[in-house]
Structure 1
Amino acid sequence: MTNQFTPQEKHVQHRSKFIKWLIIIFSSIGSFLFVSILTQGAVFYHWYHKFTGKERFNEPIDIDSANGYKPRKPYDDTKSMKPTTDLRYYAQAMKLDLQEYRVTTPDGYILTLHRLIDPSETSEVRDQRKPFLLQHGLLSCSGSYITSGRNSLAYYLVEQGYDVWLGNNRSWFEAVHTHYEGNLYNNEQYWDWGMTDLAYYDLPTLIENVLSHKPHHDKLALAGHSQGGLQSFIMFRNEEMQHISEKIEYFFGLAPAVYPGVQFHRGFLKFLGNRSRTGWVLLFGACAFLRNLCYFRIKIGETWLFGRLAYYLFKYLFGWNARNWGKDKKVWHFCFIFNVTYVSVKLMNYYCAKFYDCGFAATLQPKKSYEIGENHTVNSKFFKEGPNAFFPFKQSWFENCRVKVPMMIFTGEIDYLVDGTRLISHMKNFEPDYVQGENFDFVDIAMYNHLDVIWAEDLIGHIGYRMMEKLKHSTFKFEESKPVEQVVASSSPETVTIDKEKDDKLLMTGEQPELIPVEIQPNLVSVHA
């Protein structure tokens, strides 16, 4: 039996070659004009801020400490480093290393799964580490958790004794598949996937593959930023995926994109929302969304121009400032490089199109509601909601779910892209099986925007410390036994290690924060034994 969270069969468009090429030509022109107009607006906006003196409000501030954590130097010698699209380069700059695996979803998409390791460890010691999976947001990738260096969440979790894995959704920076052939970038069937596919296929495949490499553990901790949080919530809601949900020891939502924020009333997002299905096809095609952005990233991503334009666009389109990112702008560039991944037009319909009646458009509240603070109140007179919304505000989402995954939600006080307060209000008022202080907690971080929860130089103090405090009360199962042959579940075909470990030593300096010990509990039975 299927439900609204289970992907439908792929719909094959029987278009003539002439129509297909017409769409490609029109959408190429439309995408180029759309990006060009926004880029020019971003450049003018930045220089307007420069001339008027407003740019000083976007500049980084001095951060002494956050809950006892003092931000560290991101890298030993940032000046000698060069921006690169090689993610392993940044791991090695921290005296760590990165392994890469290729894993395949049940519908044939080949995903890239990363593992951040201490190369001085033996495999036996590494097996004892508790698994922690980090899932990225929209148009981003695994690099978002690494490139801020020793202030990154991934680095901190390795310090704390966790086996850190970083997932990537389908298409990433490369369109690959097991049976679709030819030029996949113009293959409409390949790109016929959306939000439910990521929650039903990609995330479970990543989870299963991580655990297939952890024969002594039958659960993992999961953190999802923005879309990574949305994927998780959809998976948790799906009664067909309870066998995956029960493998999550604890879930940490980092500004999860469950509800849209007031920024979806901005002009360019309203423009997208008001386009018809035909309008979307003519503007963006029926394959990859703004493929030209991905192309520019490949060509100029390592240059200063890309770093500047990325900052200008983030500030102009979403109002994000860099006050919490640290003063080293080269590190900003490192972070920017691992954005603008390939995603489908169908996926963007979930976020931006009004005709997609189960997505963001179905739960976006009137602008007045956000202005007077009623967007999260139970009895708002401005309440508005579509009947097919994935996340109805006044109905329980998990009532029929056998597994209630314990969770902690982190929201940003000035995050206007997603509505964290509305999500928290729903959980407190309409989820009776979730009790604050028991299996549900939330933290609203002052002066944090949507990206600060993964890029801020003091996020370890605000987020990392709280994660460790919560997890030290959890029990990850571990069994002392001889190594067993790793067999990947049928939904997750065998993985292959791409990179090898190097015999470097992990640098542990006096700069690092006081560690919260993570103990391995022996003699507990594991389902993988």
Structure 2
Amino acid sequence: MTKLGQWKGKTCDSFFTEVLVQPDELIRETTNYRRTGKGTMNEEEEDGKGKEPGRVIHKEVQRSKKTAYQEFILISRNIISFILSAPILLILLSIATFKTAKVHLLEKTKRIQEDQEALKPDELLIQDETYYADRWGYKSEMHQVLTQDGYVLQMYRISKKGSNPQGKRPVFIGHGLFQCSGAFVLNEENSMAFVLIDQGYDVWVGNNRSISGLDHISLSHEDPEYWNWGLKELGIYDFPAMVDYVRSFTDFSKIAYIGHSQGNAQAFIGLSLIPELADKLSCFVALAPAVFSGNLVNTFPLCLLISLNDWMYSLMFGTGSFLSIMSLAQSLIEPKTFCFLAYSMFSYLFSWWDSHWLRRRKAKYFQFTPRPVSTKLIADWIAGWGRKGVCLYIADQNNHQQQKITQKVPLVVFYGTADYLVNGERFVRTFNGYETHGLSPSQLAKESSNHEWNTAKSTNTLFPMLDLVHVERIEGYEHMDTIWGHDNHKTTYPIVLSNLEKARWD
């Protein structure tokens, strides 16, 4: 568990209160508490299972005290943001649902996975990822992890029923933007978490702050102070806290990490700002690396969102949870109806479709997507990925000038040729030896004649602590297909497993 030092949470708004967290506000209690899909294990099941997970016990959190004027300003801003954002959301939703319905109605090509659609598993449609693990013969153990800035994160250690994962090589899996750890247990027996477990790994799936609970040791989620975090905090607090917790609990000095989209972006940020994190990783698998933006940032409607100035953005979306109405709708609307609405919106905005999915799984996916995130987090994505073409906090090579590298971490990258949200090719080309990756003959001839390009390419890497050992370019794959594709067990998992086997775990 990460030790908690003093921390001052500050915001850009003058009426926010300053919060000081003292170490004595945290009490950590080790108990026999172990959550599974069916409740708490009995004493017989506990015997011989290794270490016990702890619970973070903290004081009851009260809302921060504000004057009547501060409360009035806060309520007024919330009302204004709802009035401005709700009509835009409804217009976009209308366009998205019309486009999605049109695409499916006009679809004539038979998909190669069509025969699998009829093989419907005996599952409930439920917002509990531990249920899906239990359904397929696995147990889920809930762990609470405390970050240095006071957020309580939830991780799940998943293992085969009747087995003890202690002593097996640990693998930590991180989710993407608007998602949660449930994303990795929804493909039935071919779910990524289950395949890794069956191959003998100790699998941990993590959740960032606000994703699987709104706990903080001193802040209430009803106050803007709670939501004053973005990409940097995910990289320097959440990612290291979960890495350190898994290392400590499993008694391994190194663990493997698999991150999808924002899940790898926060790891890259962490490595950029805290380079010594590399010493704690045995292998890093980046699925759809969210470092450089694809050409989607130049298209409607994302280009309009990106073009908003900071003042207008804050006015429209507030300073708390980003479009919190999404979570409310998810809890109130019938799951299959919500699935159609959410899928329509996400596919329209981010250009990822269900071409490589089994459509019968979609309702499950959208019971775990979207999850709450901060308005500031989306602002960070806009500021870097949207306006500059590169994720914030990882583009400064000066961060690594004084770094002494003893051993590089093997990096494995997967990206799809139809992923327009991120540019995997450009990211791969930042590594020495891959400068021509993905370039056509004409592009290669043009770049080869560029003196500046030839001079810079030997020092181009953003991450000198990483050794790019394998790149898998998957034809036709979109942004979500590396975790939800119907054929992942053929396109992705064998390569992941072979590289994990080569990694050094000492």
Is 1:38 aligned to 2:92, yes or no? yes
For residue 114 of structure 1, the aligned residue among 128, 151, 156 is 156
Is 1:286 aligned to 2:319, yes or no? yes
Distance 1:9 1:163, change over 3 A: same
For residue 360 of structure 1, the aligned residue among 385, 388, 398 is 385
Which residue of 2 is the match for residue 311 of structure 1?
343
Q: Contact conserved, 1:398 with 1:431, CA < 8 A, in 2?
A: no
Report 1:279-428 matches (<5 A). 279-300=312-333, 303-326=335-358, 329-352=359-382, 356=383, 359-364=384-389, 390-392=393-395, 398-403=400-405, 404-427=408-431, 428=434
C-alpha offsets along residues 127-167 of structure 1, whole Å, 9 cap, x if unaligned? 12100000000010101111112122111101110011001
Is 1:11 aligned to 2:6, yes or no? no
Counterpart residue identity of residue 136, structure 1 = H
C-alpha offsets along residues 287-315 of structure 1, whole Å, 9 cap, x if unaligned? 11011001111222x62101221222233
Which residue of 2 is the match for residue 450 of structure 1?
479
Compute the RMSD of aligned alpha carbons: 2.6
Distance 1:8 1:424, change over 3 A: farther
Q: Equivalents in 2 of 1:141, 1:389: separation in Å? A: 22
Q: Contact conserved, 2:180 with 2:369, CA < 8 A, in 1?
A: yes
Counterpart residue identity of residue 500, structure 2 = L
- Shift in Å at residue 322 of structure 1? 1.5
Q: Contact conserved, 1:31 with 1:284, CA < 8 A, in 2?
A: yes
Which residue of 1 is the match for residue 48 of structure 2?
none
- Shift in Å at residue 196 of structure 1? 0.5
- Shift in Å at residue 94 of structure 1? 0.8
Q: Equivalents in 1 of 2:77, 2:185: separation in Å? A: 38
Q: Which SS does the other structure have where 2:347 is aligned?
A: helix
Report 1:253-292 matches (<5 A). 253-292=286-325
Q: Equivalents in 2 of 1:223, 1:338: separation in Å? A: 19
Q: Which SS does the other structure have where 1:138 is aligned?
A: coil
Distance 1:120 1:257, change over 3 A: same
C-alpha offsets along residues 205-224 of structure 1, whole Å, 9 cap, x if unaligned? 00111112112x21110011
Q: Contact conserved, 1:173 with 1:294, CA < 8 A, in 2?
A: no
- Shift in Å at residue 335 of structure 1? 1.4
Q: Which SS does the other structure have where 2:492 is aligned?
A: helix
- Shift in Å at residue 321 of structure 1? 2.4
For residue 205 of structure 2, the aligned residue among 166, 170, 177 is 166
Q: Equivalents in 2 of 1:464, 1:332: separation in Å? A: 21
Distance 1:222 1:332, change over 3 A: same
Counterpart residue identity of residue 339, structure 1 = T
Q: Contact conserved, 1:100 with 1:113, CA < 8 A, in 2?
A: yes
Identical-pair percentage: 29
Distance 1:398 1:392, change over 3 A: same
The alignment's TM-score, normalised by the length of structure 2, stands at 0.77
Q: Equivalents in 1 of 2:79, 2:463: separation in Å? A: 52
Q: Contact conserved, 2:81 with 2:317, CA < 8 A, in 1?
A: yes
Which residue of 2 is the match for residue 379 of structure 1?
none
Q: Which SS does the other structure have where 2:149 is aligned?
A: coil
- Shift in Å at residue 175 of structure 1? 1.9
C-alpha offsets along residues 334-354 of structure 1, whole Å, 9 cap, x if unaligned? 1121111111111101112xx
Counterpart residue identity of residue 306, structure 1 = F
Which residue of 2 is the match for residue 147 of structure 1?
186
Q: Contact conserved, 1:98 with 1:116, CA < 8 A, in 2?
A: yes
For residue 195 of structure 1, the aligned residue among 231, 239, 259 is 231
Q: Equivalents in 2 of 1:50, 1:234: separation in Å? A: 38
Q: Which SS does the other structure have where 1:82 is aligned?
A: coil
Q: Which SS does the other structure have where 1:32 is aligned?
A: helix
For residue 93 of structure 1, the aligned residue among 135, 144, 147 is 135
Report 1:486-501 matches (<5 A). none
Q: Equivalents in 2 of 1:79, 1:459: separation in Å? A: 18
Q: Contact conserved, 1:146 with 1:153, CA < 8 A, in 2?
A: yes
Q: Equivalents in 2 of 1:74, 1:106: separation in Å? A: 45
Which residue of 2 is the match for residue 230 of structure 1?
265
Counterpart residue identity of residue 96, structure 2 = A
Q: Contact conserved, 1:111 with 1:169, CA < 8 A, in 2?
A: yes
Is 1:252 aligned to 2:252, yes or no? no
Q: Which SS does the other structure have where 2:170 is aligned?
A: strand
Q: Which SS does the other structure have where 2:409 is aligned?
A: coil
- Shift in Å at residue 60 of structure 1? 4.1
Q: Which SS does the other structure have where 1:210 is aligned?
A: helix
Which residue of 2 is the match for residue 128 of structure 1?
167
Q: Equivalents in 2 of 1:474, 1:49: separation in Å? A: 43
Distance 1:273 1:433, change over 3 A: closer
Is 1:204 aligned to 2:240, yes or no? yes
Q: Contact conserved, 2:85 with 2:317, CA < 8 A, in 1?
A: yes
Q: Equivalents in 1 of 2:463, 2:386: separation in Å? A: 28
Please state which structure has a larger fraction of its residues in helix: 2
- Comparing 199-208 with 333-342, greater Cα deviation is found at 333-342
- Shift in Å at residue 46 of structure 1? 2.2
Q: Which SS does the other structure have where 1:260 is aligned?
A: coil
Q: Contact conserved, 2:154 with 2:213, CA < 8 A, in 1?
A: no
Q: Equivalents in 2 of 1:445, 1:399: separation in Å? A: 34
Distance 1:399 1:254, change over 3 A: farther
Counterpart residue identity of residue 129, structure 2 = L
Distance 1:412 1:63, change over 3 A: farther
Q: Which SS does the other structure have where 1:472 is aligned?
A: helix
Q: Equivalents in 1 of 2:321, 2:463: separation in Å? A: 40
Counterpart residue identity of residue 61, structure 1 = I
- Comparing 78-87 with 22-31, greater Cα deviation is found at 78-87
Q: Contact conserved, 1:285 with 1:345, CA < 8 A, in 2?
A: yes
Q: Equivalents in 2 of 1:259, 1:400: separation in Å? A: 25
Distance 1:456 1:168, change over 3 A: same
Q: Contact conserved, 1:63 with 1:458, CA < 8 A, in 2?
A: no
Q: Relative contact order: is structure 1 or structure 2 higher (C-alpha 8 Å, sep ≥ 6)? A: 1
Q: Contact conserved, 2:144 with 2:155, CA < 8 A, in 1?
A: yes
For residue 157 of structure 1, the aligned residue among 196, 199, 203 is 196
Is 1:460 aligned to 2:502, yes or no? no
C-alpha offsets along residues 261-301 of structure 1, whole Å, 9 cap, x if unaligned? 1111122211111212221122110111011001111222x
- Shift in Å at residue 474 of structure 1? 2.2
- Shift in Å at residue 95 of structure 1? 0.9
- Shift in Å at residue 91 of structure 1? 0.6
